[in-house]
Amino acid sequence: MINYIDRGAISTNGVNGSPRSCTESNVCSDGSGIQGDFDLSNFKDGILASAFMVGLLIASPIFASLAKTINPFRLIGVGLSVWTLAVVGCGFSVDFWSITICRMLVGVGEASYIGLAAPLIVESAPVSQRTAWLGIFHMSIPTGVAVGDIT
């Protein structure tokens, strides 16, 4: 669930933050939230939210193909390592491009287990608990996004 909180937090930038703005009389106000911190226009804010999906869409089929020859548990570990480093990178980002690249890498990291975790759960879970394990896994996705929306 913690993994999905960032999706909700980034997707609400336009609601929870605002870019720097100036009035006709040259009175300027600093923006708020991520839009204000990075001086993002609404267009750049949209790019930032989409960067995650670019990484996810490119890396998902790659991880799926690699799972045929490499242990999926190992691939998930690699993906979680990439995800962890990318999230730390997002925290230390100093400008639009650095946070955009880190957001793409977050998508790459998530791609490893979005497609591989469910089959791994099916193989690993006891038959009597398999449905519950899958339900908890899939329930954490919308729950994490919702928690991110309110943070």
Query: Which residue has tokens 């990178």?
Result: 89
Mean pLDDT of the region 105-116: 90
Q: 109, 92, 99: which is closest to 4 by C-alpha? A: 109
Q: Is 100 exposed, middle or buried (0-12, 13-18, 19+ CB in 10 A)?
A: buried
Domain count, the chain: 1
Spatial distance between the Cα atoms of 104 and 99, rounded to a whole number of angstroms: 9
Phi and psi at residue 128, to the nearest 5°: -70, -20
Name the residue range of residue 129's domain: 2-150
Question: Over the stretch 47-64, which tens digit does the pLDDT of each residue have?
Answer: 888 898 999 999 999 999
Tokens standing for residue 136 = 């908890």
User: Mean pLDDT, the chain, as a whole number?
Assistant: 80
Mean pLDDT of the region 3-15: 50
Residue 14: give its domain's CATH number.
1.20.1250.20
Question: Over the stretch 14-33, which tens digit does the pLDDT of each residue have?
Answer: 444 555 555 566 656 565 56
pTM over 0.95: no
pLDDT band at 115, cuts 50/70/90?
confident
Mean pLDDT of the region 60-75: 93
Spatial distance between the Cα atoms of 140 and 83, rounded to a whole number of angstroms: 17
